[in-house]
Structure 1
């Protein structure tokens, strides 16, 4: 009977049916015992892809696959955490996953699940371990606006658990998010961007999301065309993704730099933080140098911005001055040295340090002129 099971239920190492499937950073799933034995033997590459692994690789439970295997009744499932004392969440999940449930019943279940999982970590784990995620994703795909919005909100709640982040990406959530970034309602677009930020907390997800077709372009488009909330969430997602160096070129290549500069000028300070990461790559610096008025926008942040905005603006100006004589001269004409001297008395250590670095750059290059 076991031979009739799908091959995906078998561990690639032991070829046995998995009782505790876990996801490696490479995105491949193994039975916990088998992959742990592989790691304990000193191996630090994925057995399938040969991708290098960190010294202490994370093993993320694949709750959805475990539930599917358990449903075949060929692997003894662990005692469900949805016991008899939790009939309400059991009923909500049952209504959500049932093919016979009406859209109205599914919506009611989603609304209540969003409410109860918002602050309850144990319930978030229960929903995931029940195998309900595919049903939630079906609601995202449904075309029903109300179902989409509530399903996204539930996915956002579930993503608050670190163990769920890689699993959600493996289940195909990124494809749905990207689609709704383009064609969803305003609320859907904002929540979709927030969900990407949450998923990008995990390093392997930064790479996966960044390389996904249209993910970064969709965020840049939302930054350009969205309302205030959408633009803020898009900028936050871009910042999370750009902490992974390979994504910076992708963001620059989407024509994001002029859009980000304009966003900073309109008061969206999260955008200056994104620029602070993009300036670390050559393409980002080259694009900033081309943008007319970029220096004036950054200098304006020095005078009116928050502490973090000032910190990033100083860093960006210093990087640009180090690679462009024209920028250096423009910064000097804007009276930045005097501003920096005042900022060197600031309470924030990073602001003082960045201001001092910019002063040294300006003084050093002026003496060479």
Structure 2
């Protein structure tokens, strides 16, 4: 079916899943308007009026109308589905997920059908979300009051399939359901899956953590995870995983999201986050180098972050090599600023940076198309390093081709 214009969020242009109305009278999907406000915008996107009141009122009427409209689609009419395939009844699928008596085979078949429906169309995905399948899948994964101490082979298969379904539904769902992970038993199940699960399970879970860290609804959960030592140790260990790039990429996105909350940064540093980030950048196949570099820059806002970076024997060399290898302005600015921060306080670091070729890198940067901010930082760093080559000018000129100005 074609989605009526009034049922689309003006920001995302997708079907509303959680419509909320602002003080201007305009309605948006909650996740879309929260992201708009989180980016520093204080206006209504449609009217451009300044928002003096940031409160959001749930639009229950619109939500009800959308629910009724979805039921008009014969694809989701219960009688129609039952006539086509009795096993495809949405009520049956929900019962299979909730039933303690359902066999392993039944649960796997149910999850595969949900996955197929979630991929079929936007309408199918929205319908599954509206009918409550997202929290049901979370309950299946983490809702046991007595979590297993060891993950069985069947448990692994169910977890992988359930996570596939969750990730298909989560971009449009209400992430507040994830707050169930604040319960001790649910958190224990999460830690068990991160520790004992397959690499596919771990990648899916770290992708979920990235979503948790990006939502206002799950801020408290993000803080809870950032205070859990076992959780952070499992995350950092994956940053050192050079054999599976997808796993380390997912871990980078997760640790970057957690570090966006200032309260989490000290814990990330304490559990070896700096060393893990440097290890990731040492890998030649680093697809999220910019995210790693901006996270390091954030962590250097703490004295413990500076000490951890300076103590890492490879950090200066790795960062110097990244100066001219980052393809975007943000990463370039972050790496130069990070080097400026650690060079400012340490003569030993300045010596290591010069020996690693920082002067040549900075001179190349100044001649490139890098941003003005990156070039300003580069000039400040060169000025700081002048004291080094004034002590031994012949060595620096020989190594870097400098000439007296």
Same fold by TM-score greater than 0.5: yes
Which residue, out of 313, 318, 321, partners 2:340? 318
Which residue, out of 363, 374, 386, partners 1:366? 386
Which residue, out of 153, 156, 171, partners 1:145? 156
After TM superposition, the structure 1 stretch with the greater mean CA deviation from structure 2, 129-138 or 106-115, is 129-138
Give, in whole Å, the separation in 2 of the partners of 1:177 and 1:202: 19
Which residue, out of 280, 291, 310, partners 2:301? 280
Equivalent position SS for 1:101 = coil
Residue 211 in structure 1 maps to residue 224 in structure 2:
yes
Residue 176 of structure 1 deviates from its aligned partner by: 4.0
Equivalent position SS for 2:240 = helix
Contact 1:223 1:234 in 2 (8 A): yes
Cα pair distance change 1:139/1:211, threshold 3 Å:
closer
Residue 167 in structure 1 maps to residue 177 in structure 2:
yes
Mind listing any 5+ residue stretches in structure 1 that lack a counterpart? 1-19, 23-53, 63-77
Contact 1:207 1:247 in 2 (8 A): no
> Following superposition of structure 1 onto structure 2, how do residues 94-173 of structure 1 map, counting pairs within 5 Å?
94-118=95-119, 120-140=121-141, 143=152, 144-161=155-172, 163-170=173-180
Residue 322 of structure 1 deviates from its aligned partner by: 2.5
Residue 179 of structure 1 deviates from its aligned partner by: 2.7
> Following superposition of structure 1 onto structure 2, how do residues 29-48 of structure 1 map, counting pairs within 5 Å?
none
Which residue, out of 332, 355, 367, partners 2:375? 355
Residue 192 in structure 1 maps to residue 205 in structure 2:
yes
Mind listing any 5+ residue stretches in structure 2 that lack a counterpart? 1-17, 21-51, 61-66, 82-87, 143-147, 391-405
Structure-2-length-normalised TM-score: 0.64
Cα pair distance change 1:345/1:118, threshold 3 Å:
farther
Residue 221 of structure 1 deviates from its aligned partner by: 2.3
Partner of 1:265: 282
> Following superposition of structure 1 onto structure 2, how do residues 84-95 of structure 1 map, counting pairs within 5 Å?
85=74, 86=76, 87=81, 88=88, 90=90, 91-95=92-96
Give, in whole Å, the separation in 1 of the partners of 2:195 and 2:94: 29
Cα pair distance change 1:200/1:354, threshold 3 Å:
same
Partner of 2:236: 220
Number of matched pairs: 300
Cα pair distance change 1:321/1:57, threshold 3 Å:
farther
Give, in whole Å, the separation in 1 of the partners of 2:205 and 2:318: 29
Equivalent position SS for 1:240 = helix
Equivalent position SS for 1:232 = helix
Which residue, out of 44, 51, 54, partners 1:56? 54
Q: Alpha-carbon deviations, 1:179-208, whole Å to 9, x = none?
A: 311111111011111111122211453442
Cα pair distance change 1:220/1:171, threshold 3 Å:
closer
Partner of 2:264: 247
Give, in whole Å, the separation in 1 of the partners of 2:200 and 2:277: 22
Residue 222 of structure 1 deviates from its aligned partner by: 2.4
Contact 2:344 2:384 in 1 (8 A): no
Residue 202 in structure 1 maps to residue 218 in structure 2:
no
Cα pair distance change 1:61/1:257, threshold 3 Å:
farther
Equivalent position SS for 1:160 = helix
Cα pair distance change 1:84/1:341, threshold 3 Å:
closer
Root-mean-square deviation (CA), in Å?
A: 3.3
Residue 335 of structure 1 deviates from its aligned partner by: 3.4
Give, in whole Å, the separation in 2 of the partners of 1:120 and 1:321: 53
